[in-house]
């Protein structure tokens, strides 16, 4: 979708100019790019023939690692690691925040594994502790960063070549960092500092009106950082290659447009020959239009001048 909107593929660009995509939804997250090496694991390879060129694209979708499910897994993990079965200390929630949830709400998703000894619906009291370091540590426990021998990987043992080129990051990745004003190409250290500073703001400091969505800002933006850095293996340098966007060429970016383009065969596999002819006829039409407009303007000016003269105004 992004390369279609940017029109990068028309001219058979060098591989490193093809833009990669990073997506974070509610239930899953995706990474897609054109790697500089061969793709060793064919289950992550997607072959596309677009505008007469072949592309071997790396892509993987991690189920349950979308924002909502990941934060649910985090809560369940904190619950299971909690010394008291009815209390959850949540390091990613602001200090002073408290809520009661039930175990049935917490374990109602296939992404979270209920404890082996199921108990009747219990009420759990969740208390925020606003501790950014503990928050990062708790989030990292949701991932398995161990790779098999002699291969590079993303997480949970999924093969991934090293990231390469420019990336556009959208959906949840954009929204979380945009809320903290961090989508303007800020350095990774500034982003880290800003997220940490937000995490230590206590619940009472937020304006009472509309503060419910502020509860998750620390958790969600810390999750985004862990996912991009430890998960997808971006670093201080490649961080600057990630462009956080909502729109490309005035179109909202997401998976739906690409899905539709594919279903309707809107991207030709061969270089369209018509493009040149189309452009030429457009050019001719534009030239004719311009000529007509110039003539009209000239006529209009003449008429105005004549009127001014006849009504006694001084001529220009």
Ligand X SMILES: *[C@@H]1O[C@H](CO)[C@@H](O)[C@H](O)[C@H]1NC(C)=O
Binding site for ligand X (CB under 6 A): 49, 54, 98-100, 123, 125, 144, 146, 148-150, 157, 180-181, 209-210, 262, 265
Nearer to ligand X, 49 or 113 (CB): 49
Q: How far is the CB of 293 from ligand X (least distance, A)?
A: 42
Task: In angstroms, give the least distance from the CB of 194 to ligand X.
Answer: 8
Candidates 34, 48, 57; CA nearest to 261 is: 48
**Identity of the residue, 14 or 148, whose beta carbon is nearer to ligand X in the bound complex:** 148
146 annotated binding-site participant: no
CA distances from 283 to 273, 278, 287, 295 (A): 17, 9, 6, 18
Sign of the dihedral defined by the CA atoms of residues 133, 138, 140, 141, in that order: positive
26 annotated as a binding-site residue: yes
Q: By C-alpha distance, which of 241, 254, 250, 253 is closest to 185?
A: 241
The answer to whether the annotation marks 165 as part of a ligand binding site is: no
Q: Which is nearer to ligand X, 211 or 241 (CB)?
A: 211
Q: Annotated binding residue at 30?
A: yes
- Taking CB atoms, the residue at the shortest distance from ligand X is 157
**CA–CA separation, 314 and 277 (whole Å):** 51
Q: How far is the CB of 99 from ligand X (least distance, A)?
A: 5
Strands 167-171 and 242-244: parallel
Q: Which is nearer to ligand X, 134 or 180 (CB)?
A: 180
Q: Considering the complex, what minimum distance in angstroms separates the CB of residue 299 from ligand X?
A: 50
> 20 among the known binding-site residues?
no
Q: How many other C-beta atoms can be found within 10 angstroms of the C-beta atom of residue 145?
A: 13
Q: How far is CA 131 from CA 95, 98, 137, in A?
A: 8, 15, 10
Closest separation between CB of residue 148 and ligand X, Å? 5
Annotated binding site for ATP: 26-30
Which residues are annotated as part of the binding site? Answer: 26-30
């Amino acid at each position: 979708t992004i390369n279609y909107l940017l029109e990068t593929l028309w001219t058979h660009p060098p591989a490193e100019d093809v833009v990669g995509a990073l997506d974070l939804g509610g239930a899953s997250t995706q990474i897609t790019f054109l790697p500089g090496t061969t793709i060793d694991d064919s289950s992550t390879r997607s072959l596309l023939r677009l505008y007469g060129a072949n592309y071997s694209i790396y892509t993987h979708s991690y189920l349950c690692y979308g924002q909502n499910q990941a934060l649910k897994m985090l809560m369940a993990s904190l619950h299971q690691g909690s010394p008291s079965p009815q209390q959850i200390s949540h390091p990613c929630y602001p200090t002073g925040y408290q809520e009661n949830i039930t175990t049935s709400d917490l374990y109602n998703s296939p992404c979270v594994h209920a404890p082996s000894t199921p108990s009747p619906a219990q009420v759990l009291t969740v208390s925020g502790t606003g501790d950014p370091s503990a928050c990062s540590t708790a989030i990292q426990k949701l991932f398995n960063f161990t790779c098999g021998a002699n291969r590079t990987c993303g997480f949970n043992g999924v093969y991934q070549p090293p990231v390469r080129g420019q990336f556009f990051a959208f959906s949840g990745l954009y929204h979380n960092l945009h809320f903290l004003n961090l989508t303007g190409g800020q350095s990774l250290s500034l982003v880290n500092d800003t997220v940490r500073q937000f995490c230590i703001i206590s619940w009472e400091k937020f304006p009472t009106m509309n503060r419910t969505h502020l509860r998750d800002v620390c958790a969600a933006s810390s999750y985004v950082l862990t996912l991009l850095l430890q998960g997808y293996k971006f670093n201080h340098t490649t961080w600057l290659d990630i462009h956080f966007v909502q729109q490309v060429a005035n179109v909202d970016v997401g998976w739906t447009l690409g899905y539709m383009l594919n279903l309707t065969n809107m991207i030709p596999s061969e270089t369209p020959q018509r493009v040149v002819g189309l452009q030429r006829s457009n050019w001719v039409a534009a030239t004719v239009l311009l000529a007509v407009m110039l003539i009209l303007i000239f006529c209009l000016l003449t008429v105005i001048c004549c009127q001014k003269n006849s009504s006694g105004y001084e001529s220009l």
